[in-house]
Each structure stands twice: as C-alpha cells, then as structure tokens.
Amino acid sequence: MAMNKQIPEDVVDQVRKANDIVEVIGEYVQLKKQGRNFFGLCPFHGEKTPSFSVTQDKQIFYCFGCKKGGNIFTFLMELEGMSFSDAVKMLADRSGIELPQFTNERSSMSKKQLDLLAAYDWLAKLYHHILRYTKEGQEAYRYLKERGIDDKSIEVFHLGYAPFMTDFTVQFLEEKGIQRPFLIQSGILRQHADQRITDPFAGRVIFPIRNHLGKVIAFGARAINQQEPKYLNSSESDLFKKNRLLFNFDLAKREIRKEKSVILFEGQMDVIAAYQAGIKNVVATLGTALTDFQAKLLKRYVDTVIICYDGDHAGIEASYKAANLLQQHGCQVKIAQLTDGLDPDGYIQKYGPQSFRQKVIQTSDTYISFMMQYLKKNYNLSLENDLIQYIQAVLREISRLESSVEREYYLRHLSEEYNLSITTLLEDVQQIRKNSNNRQDKRRENRYTKNNTKSTYRVNHKLLPAYQNAERQLIAYMLQDKAITVRVQKEIKASFQVEEHKIIATHLYAFYEDEDTPNVSMFVERLADENIRQLVLEIAMLPIQDDLSDQEINDYIDIIQSQSQEMALIKKYQQEQKLAEKQNDHLKAAQIAMQIIEIEKQLKSK
C-alpha cells in the first residue's frame, strides 16, 4: 500500500512516536507477551492459534501465517481500508496532536460514505437536542426515566428522539449541505406514493449505533406508544452491516481488555442498564443472531465470552446457538441464567446492580454445564434408549474440550450422576476425538503456533545456502545498527549476491545518510516496492543478539565476499569455456566445465 509523501516527514514521525504500536494494535487484537514480542490472532486471515507478532522495540508487526506486515500506519490502512493521511489523522486524534493543513489528498471513503457519516452525525445531534431540551422530546425523556435510564447515560449513549416534524428534519439537513434526494435514496428518509416524505423513526426513542471508531453510522429505534414494529434499525448501507457490528463495541473495547471478558446481550437497553450499573465490558447484537464474523471479532479481543440473553424460551435457544458458535471459534464460553423469564434490563431494575453482578454474571454456567442442562429437554431420561442418546450427546460436547482436566471433571460428574464407569466414558470420548475432525483441524492450526513457526522458519532458512543466510543475518543487524551498516557499506558496498538484498542494502545506506538512529518502522514506510517491504519485515523478525562481536561481523562479510569471489571465478571460467568451444577445443572446454562443477559443489556444501 503506497504511502503519501505530501505529509511532512517530521509530522508523520511525531505522530508515530506518540502512538505505541502494541497499544494501537492491542485495541484490535488481544495480544499476549511471549519473549520480546507480542502475539495474537491475525486480523487479516482466519486462524485459531496466534501467528501474528508485534515487535515493540522495532514498532512493526508481522504475521507468520499470511505474511502481512508493516508499521502502525500500514496496519490501519490494511485493516480499516484507510488512506495514509486518514491513518495519520486518526492516530493524531488518538494522541491529542493537532495537525496542520498539510495535504489535499482525498479521503479513502467515497463521497456517498462521507455524506452518510455527516447525515447521521447531524441527525444524532438533532435527535439528542430534541430529547433533552424541547417539549417535543418530553414524553420520550419521561419514558427513559421510567425505564431507569439516568441523565449521564442519556449523554454517554447520546440517546435522542425523532419528532413528527419531517419538514423540520429535512430543512435542518439541507442547511448542513445534505440534499433531499440523497436522504431518500439512502433510506434516512422515506418517500411515499403520494410524494409525502417522512422520517421512518418519527415518534421513537433513538439509539445511535456507532462503529468501532465511535462514528455514528446508523440508528436503532424503539416505539414508546403503540407503533409497530416495536424495534427498528436503519437500512443497511456501505457503512452499516448488522451482522458485522456490535452495539457499544467502541466504548466497551478498553473495558473488555481490562476485565479479560465480554458480556454479550441481545438488546440495547440491556447494554445501557448494565453500563449504568458500572458493568462496562458489555456489547449487544443488533436484532440478529450472533454471526460468524461477530464471533471472530470477539475472539480477537478476548478469550472469555459471557452470554446473557433473556431468560425466556427464545433467549435460551439463542444462547445455545451463540454458545455453539463461540465454542467453535475457541472462546471460553459462559452462560448467565436469568430467573423469572426476565431480560437483563428487567433483572437489574428489579433486583439491582449488585445482585446482577453477583448472582447472574459471577455464577454463570460453563459451556458444558449449560449444554448438559439444555440437552436434557430433547430426551425423556426415564426411558433407557433416550438416556443413552442423551449421554452420547453430552460425550460429543465433552470431546470438543481441549483440556484433559476439564474432560475428566465433567466425565466424573456424568459417571456419578448416572452410575457409569469413568473408564468406559473416557474410552468413548477418546474414540469420538479420534474419529472427529479435531485432529485434522489441530494439525492445520498448529502450523502457526509460536514453536512450530520458529522451528519451521529456522529449518527453511537452514536449507538456504550459507551466503544467503549470512546476507539475511547481516541485513537484520544493519536494520538495528547504523555503525554496522556503515562498516558493511565500506567493505562490501552493494556486493550482495541476492538481488533483493542488494536493493535493501542500497536503501539502508541512503536511509542512514538522512537518519542517525535505526527505525525499522520509518524505513519500511519509505520503500515503494511491496515485495521488498515484506522481505524487510520478514528479515526484521529474525532473532538477533544484543551485542554482535567484530569477529561475527567479519564472519558474515567473509562468507558474502567469498561467495562473490567464487561467483566471479565461475563467470570467468564460463567465458573461457565459450571461447574454447568457439575454437573447437572440446577437451579444454570439458576441463573448464569440470572446474565450474567443482566450484559449484563447494558453494553448495558451504
């Protein structure tokens, strides 16, 4: 992805230094420190075992699985689809840096997307103002108060009210430069057969739906009288896809990392009630069942997901489906149980925040405990055949657990409850695991574990000729040390044998003419060729010593120079061989060919 050079380098560098790559990527990926680096699930390709590495001292990232890598700017450009200037602006805003007007570069977003953002932003402000400060919003304000929502929560979630004044709404938006045809085409307003234009949310309480960056991209709305349907969402658009978003995710991200868990609700009011009660690691789906994309998103951020859906039959069924999906994606799943068929909001209103935290969230069932209870409803356990089928169904669930301790714990519970041999149950589970796809999946996933990644990496590069490994190692040190680079430039200049290594060395020599200190993040930003950039990132991830002796540097240089001399000798012999063939001196040509073969053998053996 090409970088924009219209932004002054000192501005880019200021923003880069103000934003640590581990902290920024940590807002998108759950990172765990392993040695000197941080590892997590790659956000660019699907995986269940972390192969995505972030290096704090070099301020770069690299995935050993899909080979994507870069610095803090390229991460945002790749993941968010941003232009370079948008990435700089976002990080500047994040770190409180005020940027000068430095570029006329177009945004990475289309005009339609920018207009949509503007329309929703202005409408959110209008609806909120009407709710809080006008007589038209008084009924909606009273409704929220009766539901237990306080003024602080109304402000935090920027709740609003859409009045029955469509002309006023249209005029307001047109004054902001957003035209009526666009509002109708995008579904923000509705045009009827008689040409009347209405606000589809009129008479409803408005819940702004924000993306993970905190931008309003849609509305959820709830009727406060007898309107149907009771709940309504904005039409889907380029910016708003219900199956890819979670309500309140932007505010919850930090709390999710802090608590190392997330609570998943079905309703927006549940989220607001819990947030108001001081439980802030909370998100909700947007009127749909939990999707594969949402499950992957949650797994990227956290291991433990607590499902807290309504306590009625529909809520239990939805919990079962969500738990299954999250379990498939490697989450540690818990399911909170609500009494009296209440929803979370209703429970908090009736029993209070403390009871909700202690008696619902903290006592959540584990995945297997929930499944053991849930599956019972499908069988008449007083019948022998049904009981056997039930036990087999539970064994299939237990077999999915990776932990042998967990498997044995639940098998003992099953053994005691139904007076069965623990040995027999263990044998059945082992057979299920053997016959399932778990083993195949595990082999595929384990290709990218830390240990396998490191060992595979080393094996691959042991297969390279010595001079190539020497060039790679030397470049890895050059990326981290200007003095080594100056010495290499003096002794071998660009006499690397691998063409790509020559290019990298040449760029490094030029980089250190401008810069006094190593900076891999800044260096890769200046490389125009994507293949060269990725190779630099791969080499930068090679393990190197903190202190490299002069003798070790000499050894690398000697290997490279020796290769260079022998390659030059081969070229010389090849020219002599051609001359001998032209002179019909076949004996001499054959003797030279044997000399070339011998040198090549020696090179391969090094």
Return d(Cα 591, Cα 370) in angstroms, integer. 80
Which range marks the domain in which residue 21 is found? 9-95
Indicate whether 598 belongs to any domain. no
On whether the CB atoms of residues 497 and 34 are closer than 8 A, the answer is no
Same-domain pairing of 117 and 180:
yes
Instruction: Encode pLDDT of 211-250 as tens digits.
Output: 998 999 999 999 998 889 999 999 999 899 999 999 999 9
Per mean pLDDT, which range of 188-202, 299-313, 378-392 is the poorest?
A: 188-202
Query: Can you give the pTM of this predicted structure?
Result: 0.78
Indicate whether 75 belongs to any domain. yes
On whether the CB atoms of residues 542 and 62 are closer than 8 A, the answer is no
Number of domains in the chain: 5
Per mean pLDDT, which range of 142-151, 328-337, 445-454, 513-522 is the poorest?
A: 445-454
Question: Which tokens in the block code for residue 102?
Answer: 């430095």
Same-domain pairing of 426 and 474:
no
**In 10 A of CB 602, how many CB atoms?**
11
Cis peptide before 229 (omega within 30 of 0): yes
Return d(Cα 68, Cα 530) in angstroms, integer. 10
* pLDDT for the residue 89: 92
Same-domain pairing of 535 and 585:
yes
Return d(Cα 410, Cα 407) in angstroms, integer. 6
The domain boundary residue, chosen from 240, 259, 289 = 240
Same-domain pairing of 252 and 236:
no
Give the number of C-alpha atoms closer than 13 A to the C-alpha of residue 112, restricted to the C-beta side. Answer: 11
Return d(Cα 582, Cα 589) in angstroms, integer. 10
* pLDDT for the residue 458: 39
Residue 458, Ramachandran bin (φ over 0: left; ψ between -120 and 50: alpha; else beta): alpha
Closest by alpha carbon to 240, among 267, 210, 264, 214? 210
* pLDDT for the residue 81: 87
| Residue 68, domain CATH | 3.90.580.10
Same-domain pairing of 174 and 58:
no
Same-domain pairing of 211 and 320:
no
> Which residues are paired to 223 by β-bridges?
204
Same-domain pairing of 249 and 234:
no
Indicate whether 603 belongs to any domain. no
Same-domain pairing of 388 and 364:
no
Reply yes or no on whether the pLDDT at 568 is more than 80. no
The domain boundary residue, chosen from 60, 95, 130 = 95
Indicate whether 604 belongs to any domain. no
* pLDDT for the residue 454: 43
Instruction: Calculate the CA dihedral of residues 120, 122, 128, 132 and round it to 10 degrees.
Output: -170
Same-domain pairing of 64 and 157:
no
On whether the CB atoms of residues 222 and 230 are closer than 8 A, the answer is yes
Cβ neighbours of residue 248 closer than 8 Å, sequence gap 6 or more: 157, 210, 268, 271, 275, 282, 283, 284
Indicate whether 599 belongs to any domain. no
Indicate whether 344 belongs to any domain. yes
| Residue 324, domain CATH | 3.40.1360.10
Return d(Cα 379, Cα 375) in angstroms, integer. 7
Closest by alpha carbon to 4, among 77, 60, 61, 68? 77
Top mean-pLDDT range of 33-37, 191-195, 594-598: 33-37
Return d(Cα 127, Cα 206) in angstroms, integer. 7
Question: Which tokens in the block code for residue 24?
Answer: 């920024």
Same-domain pairing of 75 and 182:
no
* pLDDT for the residue 534: 93
Same-domain pairing of 389 and 334:
no
Instruction: Encode pLDDT of 502-544 as tens digits.
Output: 999 999 999 999 898 999 999 999 998 999 999 999 999 998 8
* pLDDT for the residue 23: 95
Closest by alpha carbon to 220, among 171, 151, 288? 288
Percent of all residues in the chain with a pLDDT value above 70, rounded to a whole number:
91
Which of residues 591 and 11 earns the better pLDDT score? 11
| Residue 195, domain CATH | 3.90.980.10
The domain boundary residue, chosen from 372, 406, 427 = 372
* pLDDT for the residue 192: 87
Indicate whether 446 belongs to any domain. no
Which of residues 107 and 468 earns the better pLDDT score? 468
Indicate whether 491 belongs to any domain. yes
* pLDDT for the residue 494: 83
Same-domain pairing of 190 and 294:
no
